[in-house]
Amino acid sequence: MQLSKTEEELMNYLWKLEKAFMKDLLEAYPEPKPATTTVATLLKRMTDKGFIDYNLYGNSREYYPLVKKKDYFSKHVNGLIKNFFNDSASQFASFFTKETNLTKEELEDLKTLIDKELKNK
């Protein structure tokens, strides 16, 4: 299951805060802030989808993520590679390095990461 763009934005705030009440989430948004009812609807949908849960303290709900950010985005990157690059990580890497206008330093950093992973295999 996937999050919508607005749900993903809210989920990013929750991942950053780790646990949060509605007021904390509203404070995390830049101006103009969304309506409380909008955030409540998003939280309900995300709970129904199994991405978040909450602890109830009287009438207040403290929300927390059930899915780790790394796991969520890893699934999306792997889906992107499968669906758009014929399940080929090297095709994805080629596209990524050529089409994203990386600086020479960023390319060197990527090379260092790849070399490190090669040593670990």
Q: Do 52 and 63 contact (CB within 8 A), yes or no?
A: yes
Q: How far apart are CA 65 and CA 63, in angstroms?
A: 7
Instruction: Reply yes or no on whether the pLDDT at 1 is more than 80.
Output: no
Q: Is 20 strand, coil or helix?
A: strand
SS3 per-residue string spanning 83-120: HHCCCCHHHHHHHHHHHCCCCHHHHHHHHHHHHHHHHH
Q: What is the pTM of this model?
A: 0.73
On whether the CB atoms of residues 7 and 48 are closer than 8 A, the answer is no
The number of CA neighbours under 13 Å toward the Cβ of 21 is 7
**Residue 120's pLDDT is what?**
87
The CATH number of 5-65 is 1.10.10.10
Instruction: Give me the count of residues in the chain.
Output: 121
DSSP class of residue 32?
S
**Tens of pLDDT along 32-74?**
999 999 999 999 999 999 999 999 999 999 999 999 999 888 8
Tokens representing residue 40 in the block = 């409540």
84-100 per-position pLDDT tens digit: 888 888 888 888 888 88
The residue ranges of every structural domain in the chain are 5-65, 69-120
Q: Which residues of 66-78 are buried (b: 16+ CB within 10 A; e: fewer)?
A: ebeeeebeeeeee
